[in-house]
């Protein structure tokens, strides 16, 4: 009898834990719901104007026609400066993918800035990383929201981000993704791409029956140039998502080499 009661108690506890886990997952999913910010954001507009005093203007050049409507921009991160430069000087309204901790609470933002951005990716000493992260974490959430960041994840929640991205593209709004693997730091020539963006392209094709245009993008700080490559489509590539990711990595690196060669030095927008 005692063994039966114990078994029933254990089953109740397991059921309670399972229910709590489901509620936790549902809560997390609810947290990452994304509403498109208004194109006009007066406060962030003032912040952008102030930032332009310190971040020098980048010139935008296109190797093909100027993009219109839905598009997947696959861009280099250029350390932490890249997304801000794209926000300030790339003229097309777009939504960005960004690391989910940077849209979390202060503690999440602080740990991500200190441990990932500064220590892991930039090799900063812990004391300096802590000092910078302490201050930057106070206002980073405001900046991320103003830059229209859609949170991304390294676990199963990424599929929710993918679905939301397809929704956004369906509203004729471009998305900029930074797929480079920067675990060993940011490099001028990108060494590998994560294939998450391929899931977005495939999801878009399943829902709308056509390919979404994809364009390589590269920002070069030395030349202060943002180069936008010609559009290509999922149907242009053979193989699985890793092969598509590798092909797009090569296209982004090709833009870097063309910038460094001086090809775009005299080209107008």
The confidence band for 269, taking pLDDT boundaries of 50, 70 and 90, is: low
- Retrieve residue 143's tokens: 């900046």
The confidence band for 44, taking pLDDT boundaries of 50, 70 and 90, is: confident
Q: How far apart are CA 180 and CA 198, in angstroms?
A: 13
The confidence band for 29, taking pLDDT boundaries of 50, 70 and 90, is: very low
- Nearest Cα to 224, choosing from 56, 78, 86? 56
Single pTM value for the model? 0.83
Which of 7-16, 100-109, 148-157, 211-220 is the most confident on average? Answer: 211-220
Query: What pLDDT is attached to residue 1?
Result: 52
The confidence band for 40, taking pLDDT boundaries of 50, 70 and 90, is: low
- Nearest Cα to 49, choosing from 89, 95, 79, 83? 89
Query: What pLDDT is attached to residue 32?
Result: 47
Taking the C-alpha atoms of 123, 126, 132 and 133 in order, what is their torsion angle to the nearest 10 degrees?
Answer: 100
Q: How far apart are CA 269 and CA 1, in angstroms?
A: 82
């Amino acid at each position: 009898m005692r063994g039966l009661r114990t078994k029933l108690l254990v089953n109740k506890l397991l059921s309670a834990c399972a229910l709590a886990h489901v509620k936790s997952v549902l809560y997390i999913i609810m947290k990452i719901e994304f509403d498109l910010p208004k194109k006009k954001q007066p406060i962030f507009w003032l912040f952008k104007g102030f930032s332009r005093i310190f971040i020098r203007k980048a010139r935008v050049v296109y190797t093909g026609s100027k993009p219109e409507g839905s598009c997947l921009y696959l861009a280099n991160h250029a350390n932490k400066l890249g997304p801000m430069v794209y926000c300030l000087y790339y003229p097309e309204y777009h939504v960005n993918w960004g690391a989910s901790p940077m849209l979390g609470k202060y503690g999440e933002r602080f740990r991500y800035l200190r441990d990932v951005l500064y220590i892991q990716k930039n090799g900063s000493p812990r004391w300096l990383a802590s000092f910078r992260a302490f201050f930057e974490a106070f206002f980073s959430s405001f900046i991320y929201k103003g830059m229209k960041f859609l949170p991304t994840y390294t676990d199963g929640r990424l599929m929710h981000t993918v679905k939301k991205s397809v929704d956004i593209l369906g509203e004729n709004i471009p998305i900029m993704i930074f797929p480079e693997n920067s675990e060993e730091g940011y490099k001028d020539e990108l060494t590998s791409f994560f294939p998450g963006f391929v899931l977005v392209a495939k999801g878009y094709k399943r829902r709308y029956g056509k390919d979404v245009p994809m364009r390589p993008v590269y920002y070069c700080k030395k030349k202060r140039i943002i180069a936008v490559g010609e559009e290509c489509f999922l149907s242009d590539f053979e193989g699985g998502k890793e092969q598509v990711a590798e092909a797009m990595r090569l296209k982004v690196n090709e833009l870097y080499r063309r910038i460094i060669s001086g090809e775009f030095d005299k080209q107008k927008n």
